[in-house]
Chains A and B, each alone.
Chain A
Amino acid sequence: MGMELHAESAGCAEMEIAEITDSDLFKLVRHALKSVIQGDPDQYEQLLRVMHPDEGVLPDVALLVTCLKALSGSVSCLDIVHHKSLIASILQMSMWNYGTDVMDALMEFNISLATSSGQYVDLCLEMLVSNFMPPDSFISLLNQPRGILRKGQVIDRVHSTLTYIAKLVPLSPLRLERMITERMPHIFTKEPLILIYVENMLKLESGAIGDLVGRTMLVAIMDKLIDLDVDIAWDDILQEDFTKGIFDMELGDLEWPMDDGQQNGDELQISWMERYFSGNLNAQKLDSLIVLTFEHLNICKESGRLSQVFHTLLQSFQQTVLMAYKSKFAQFVLFYACSLDPENCGRRFADTLFHKFKSSKYPEWRMSAVAYLASYLARAKFLPISFVAEYVESLLEWCSSYCFNQGGSINPKAHKEFYAGCQALMYVLCFRMRSMLAIPRIRSRISKHIEDILRHPLSPLMVCLPSIVEEFLRLAKVTHLDVPDNVVSSNLLESELSMAFGGRERLDTFFPFDPCLLMKSDRFIRPNFVYWSMVRNSYDNDDDDEGTSDEDDIEICTAGNGINIPNDGAARSYDQDLDEFGNKMSKMSITPKVAQWGELQSGRQMPSSLLPCPDSL
């Protein structure tokens, strides 16, 4: 190493040595460290000034690097009590403020200190974790080339240091994962900071110590998504005109600047976000974090780790998302993971939900699980129709078996799981009726059981959401399915009975995979998503021409190879899709505006995104 130190070096008059070797330097630094313990603080204070120059004095980078390297070789002389100020001044340095030479020297010191004694491990790990995020002054530079370069330099070094420390101190990852979760920024932290922190967590998950800390990272991220999700109340989304109630998320109702050719997609997005999430920055944070997670899932798929990562996500989902009160967005992480590997992840997700529905202890969990299952089966474009048919059959069997074992009359509270199951069945069939009935075996199974279930004295048609019941009966009629037709149309989204079975949580109106209203995330979800407008159009054609034969139906759907929903007959670009984002969302809803419930045209829309009633909020 050996270097020349000049007399004019800041605050280093005593260190005037024409040229010193590495060993001389080590001796000098060790002497300074030992002399302060013996009561002579002069040289030690000079060392301190090198690390932490007085205000207005620029640090001498060469001297700083040299001293850090010398200190790295002298860590055995450091005493946590006597050299507290020196250790603190080094560990408080932010790598974001220095060039690569200082960064490297800092990391070398960090490794030496962390591995020299157990008492320094936590301090060094904390220093590294604190460097996950830049100082506030650096935030504005993050989008500039210089900032991006510095970010890469810092993050690479921090992670390689963490990996190296884990190699030398095998138990350090245990402490690291606890530290990272404890220091995770709260939901009100600025978006760039929370994003970069989560980016670091995901890098750890896919890094060399991912096997040790990855699970904790993913769970913590999911928890954060849920924190942000529940912080976005429906009221916030609808704050512009609360009187419009639950249906304002129908984008078609907005004054969408469709005719303004000068506005590009980003501006549309910003405009939309500002309109709906103005004052609620958490929605934007959540959107960005979900996109970050999606991108990570793509990387996992490429590296063949998706199955392993999905296992953790699924566990986290069962513990947090499924239990959260009407989670709105966080569940799309699971949806996207399933879309990347429908055969494996897609099946595991559905299996888990159906198992939860059948065997959970609490009715609310079962209702929530079946709501997820129904919404997933209805909306996942990537699921083969045979796969959906399998679960529809299972739901049919479960409902049929329930009817067989239960007597009595309508009792929404006592049989809430049954009504939830029936509603789920009808909901899935509303979306997949044509495809289902195209398979003769499934058609015969549905025909055999559905009538018994719907005509049972428990009267699911009277209790389930009228909007779904009406749509189901209408489609059944179109597709010549034999179902009771004596239910009186109520023209209502919900009834007292449906509210009763939904309970205080209003799980009767819970459709977890309704269109994702986050614009950045929508880019990932859209290609894998079944919008009601796609389904609706095909039935509308049938409505117009009720004489359509079953053979015609079969032409439209491709059994066993995923749903093949007619999409206006032509391939569409993403931009076109984006332009019609609002229109499509409006078409898929049977949900009427609060102010216009009475005007609802029976059976013309499916629920898009429903809100709990104000009482349950």
Chain B
Amino acid sequence: MEALKECRANLLVYLHPSNAKNVETAVYRELSSLLFKFNEALDGVVLTYEPKFSSNLARILPGIHPYFGVKLEAKLLLFNPKPEMLLEGEVVKVGQQSIHIVVLGFSSAVIADEDIREDFKYKIKHGKEVFVSRSNKKHRIKVGTTLRFSVKNFDEEILHMCGSLIPDNTGNIQWLETKAEESQAYSITEKRIGNKRAAELLEPDNLVPYKGKLKSENHIKKSKRSKSRDS
């Protein structure tokens, strides 16, 4: 999925002197405070972290409370959706005016009716709300569907997204993948057919003796030339 990136960050974590006996726990606590919040410096929402301590030395800040700075390198997994990115999430609500999705279990997304392509038609089937594709009735979006959508905007404060189902490559992932497999299978079949035709052409019955072929080609060429000469 797009919007996920891994990065290595050199961090300097300032700790209260009371944490001097248990630096590692304190650093983990500080890093935990970054979770599920958008961080401008890191340009993303921190989802996981893995600190690596390279030194046991720390810089002490002068002051009433001598905080000390611990240097570390952290491997971070960031989430930063940008417009036009394709994301996947689980549909949690379908309504006539909107589809609601949860991405990675924490970020909410909504697709308003004007951002749902006209191919999809809102229906209530067996008491459940569903969007069904007009072009392919097997393409359905209902609660529980894993949906691929395009990002329109991302609210960094509440980690809420507005999405779109306008692009053709968006919709029910299961259906999209089945379609992709089918088209791949089709292209393979086509290729096979193409190869088969080529093989058929190479079969002995179809083979023209090389000399003869050359002769015939030369003949054609000749004839062309002769035609041109004639003309």
Contacts and interface: CB of A to CB of B under 8 A. Distances in A.
Interface of A: 26, 73-76, 112, 115-119, 121-122, 167-172, 174-175
A122 B102 CA distance: 18
A73 B113 CA distance: 10
Contacts of B106: 170-171
Contacts of A170: 102, 105-108
A75 B95 CA distance: 12
Contacts of A121: 158, 160
Contact of B112 (A26, A76, A174): A76
Contact of B110 (A116, A167, A171): A116
Interface string B24-39: 0000000000001000
B108 A168 contact: yes
B114 interface: yes
Interface in B105-152: 105-108, 110, 112-114
A116 B95 CA distance: 12
A118 B98 contact: no
Interface string B153-186: 0010111101000000000000000000000000
Interface residues of B, number: 22
Contacts, number: 59
Interface of B: 36, 92-93, 96-98, 100, 102, 105-108, 110, 112-114, 155, 157-160, 162
A117 B155 contact: yes
Contacts of A26: 97
Nearest to A76: B112
21 contacts: A73-B96, A74-B97, A76-B97, A76-B98, A115-B108, A115-B110, A117-B162, A118-B157, A118-B158, A118-B159, A119-B155, A119-B157, A121-B160, A168-B93, A168-B100, A168-B102, A168-B108, A169-B158, A169-B160, A170-B108, A175-B158
B47 to A, nearest CB: 13
A75 B113 CA distance: 11
Given A115-B98, A175-B158, 17 more contacts: A115-B108, A116-B98, A116-B110, A117-B110, A118-B155, A118-B158, A119-B155, A119-B158, A122-B158, A167-B93, A168-B102, A169-B158, A169-B160, A170-B105, A170-B108, A171-B106, A172-B158
A73 B112 CA distance: 10
Interface of B is mostly: strand
A460 to B, nearest CB: 33
Find the residue from A26, A76, A112, A121 having the highest chain B CB count within 10 A: A76
Nearest to A119: B155
B92 A167 contact: yes
Contact of A76 (B108, B114, B159): B114
Contacts of B108: 115, 168-171
Contacts of A74: 97
Contacts of A115: 93, 98, 100, 108, 110
Find the residue from A74, A115, A122 having the highest chain B CB count within 10 A: A115
Contact of A171 (B36, B100, B112): B36
A295 to B, nearest CB: 34
Contacts of B110: 115-117
Given A74-B97, A170-B105, A170-B107, A117 B113 contact: no
Contacts of B158: 118-119, 121-122, 169, 171-172, 175
Contacts of B114: 76
Contacts of A168: 92-93, 100, 102, 108
- Of all A-B residue pairs in the complex, the 7 with the closest CB atoms, nearest first, are A118-B155, A118-B160, A118-B158, A76-B112, A169-B108, A73-B97, A168-B100
